[in-house]
Structure 1
Amino acid sequence: MAMLKIEHLKKQYGNFSLDCSLEVKRGYITGLIGQNGAGKSTTFKAVLGLISADGGKINILGKDLREFTAEDKESLGVVLSDSGFGGYLTIKDLIPIMKSLYKSFDDSSFMDQARRFQLPTDKKINDFSTGMKAKLKVLIAISHDARLLILDEPTLGLDVIARDELLEMLRKFMEENEERSILISSHISSDLETLCDDIYMIHEGKVILHEDTDVLLSDYALLKVTEEQFSQIDKQYILRFKKEAYGYSCLTRQKQYYIENYPEVAIDQGTIDEVILMMIRGEKL
């Protein structure tokens, strides 16, 4: 069973048009990656019922979103970039609030995790650093035995160490129970390539690529070819191409085919950033 299935979710804002389909499988960490304004936050808010969709279907934990109850929502852990608790509260102040919201909230585990991640329990949240606030948001999301986490840009604005600590929280959350899943968005590809099982790329409201992360990192590559090589090369496995000063840069998901058949061609391992760039700016044949 898919933990979340979105089919042609549509939303129109002026010139922006969203048409998104994606699926989060049980036990998977699925990444949604794209530039700011690509449609990531709109998708998340529609899934959570915070904005109304213009069309499409959303099925979450086996239920149509329209039938999803307040009790069902206890199975979700959510981090949105523009949400958070009042800044005048402390972590200790949050415990009775969380207990009233979630039946399965584990206050002792919550406090243990807060100390482990060096979050002061008596300090006002207003006085937290950006990294502390981000870790607190995720800690709250994972503290009530959620089955599905929906995390919109949770690493935004964090330094490398804070990002690593936050991603480690998510790995541990998944290791504890194989029935859990995570949907996480980011425009920082390095976060997702080390964390996610599969990745969707969204651009201008449309999903332009979906791939298992292992395949993305092993089979995708950039061919650097001269004008002459470009005219002669077998183009059936070329996804996108772009004119360069030396000739052409070509994106393929069949790296091995070109290694074996075109040993004279320069082949670079494509990073996720380069794949995104080629899928957005490259031309189709």
Structure 2
Amino acid sequence: MLKLENVEKHYEQFDLKCSLEVHKGCVTGLIGQNGAGKSTTFKAILGLINTDGGKIEVFGKEIKSLSAKDKEEIGVVLSDSGFSGYLTVKDILPILTSMYSAFDQNDFLKKCRHFSIPMDRKIKEFSTGMKAKLKVLVAMSHNAKLLILDEPTAGLDVIARDELLDLMREYMEQGDASILISSHISSDLEGLCDDIYMIHDGQIIMHEETDRLLGDYGVLKVTAQEYDKLDKRYILKRKKEHYGYSCLTNEKQYYLDNYRGITVEKGNIDEVITMMIRGEEK
């Protein structure tokens, strides 16, 4: 569905070199700190910036070869994009109709009513949650096969986030659709994504299936003496602590079976991010 091979973009103080793939029928997450390269990657995929190397394919075609019809099959939410705040939802209907041949106005309006999005109020008067829901509904309104969502739940309360996530799950029930999504909120990705890429300083430093990340990863809490005796084959990163070391492993069960005296905590996305970025090599 989407493939990036060694895509490069060079700025004065930042370099991107990224490879990732989004498979048909899958939700793929891209995680990382602010400034890690998530938005740059999204803009490269959409052709909003010129790249300095590598290859980007969407639907099996290089992005420069995409037809207007191909582009209609991509739905996009970017954190810094949207309609003019002086327009209303009624105002944007003819815009969407002219932009997308497959725009489903009836379904779009039905979903707007379901999520209590007003038709006649100016968008600048919407709450943060209303604006976010509208952007996602627009991205889904024209039968897109691929959604590219950059921080779609940023700044939303728990209820609004849950509603948006339900929208995405419903979208995925089409069966042949795919999503690439970035988010700072790990619980969103844990419950939605099939696999996750981690980007840091412009480079992908980890790719893992979500089930494996949540099931097999863990953090060992050990003293310095216990660390010295550990089999370190499955230790990815370590971090010095006041009691000794915390160690990230992708084979939690191995240590549970063979080192019964040590503490092994279940892994989660936040813990993995922290250990992969702040930890040191074993």
TM-score in terms of structure 2 length: 0.99
What is the deviation of 1:69? 2.0
1:60 corresponds, among 45, 58, 61, to 58
Distance 1:171 1:92 in 2: 27
What is the deviation of 1:63? 0.5
What is the deviation of 1:70? 2.1
Secondary structure of 2:102's partner? coil
State the partner residue of 1:241: 238
Secondary structure of 1:236's partner? helix
Secondary structure of 2:49's partner? coil
Secondary structure of 1:23's partner? strand
**Structure 1 residue 147 corresponds to structure 2 residue 142:** no
Distance 1:119 1:133 in 2: 9
Secondary structure of 1:268's partner? strand
Distance 2:206 2:275 in 1: 11
State the partner residue of 1:72: 70
Secondary structure of 1:195's partner? coil
Distance 1:219 1:182 in 2: 24
Aligned residue type for 2:128 = T
2:180 corresponds, among 178, 183, 201, to 183
State the partner residue of 2:165: 167
For 1:33-78, what per-residue CA distance to the aligned partner results, in whole angstroms no more than 9, with x for missing partners?
A: 0111000000000100000001000000110112112221000000
**Structure 1 residue 41 corresponds to structure 2 residue 39:** yes
For 1:102-136, what per-residue CA distance to the aligned partner results, in whole angstroms no more than 9, with x for missing partners?
A: 00000000000000111111111111001000000
Aligned residue type for 2:103 = F
Q: What CA RMSD, in Å, does the superposition of the two structures yield over aligned residues?
A: 0.7
1:264 corresponds, among 256, 261, 275, to 261
Aligned residue type for 1:253 = N
Secondary structure of 2:232's partner? coil
* Number of residue pairs aligned between Structure 1 and Structure 2: 282
Q: Which runs of 5+ in 1 are unaligned?
A: none
Distance 1:15 1:93 in 2: 41
What is the deviation of 1:156? 1.1
Secondary structure of 1:41's partner? helix
What is the deviation of 1:9? 0.7
**Structure 1 residue 106 corresponds to structure 2 residue 74:** no
**Structure 1 residue 208 corresponds to structure 2 residue 205:** yes
Distance 2:185 2:15 in 1: 23
TM-score in terms of structure 1 length: 0.98
Distance 2:104 2:258 in 1: 58
**Structure 1 residue 124 corresponds to structure 2 residue 97:** no
Distance 1:271 1:198 in 2: 13
Q: Which runs of 5+ in 2 are unaligned?
A: none
Percent identity (aligned): 64
Aligned residue type for 1:41 = S
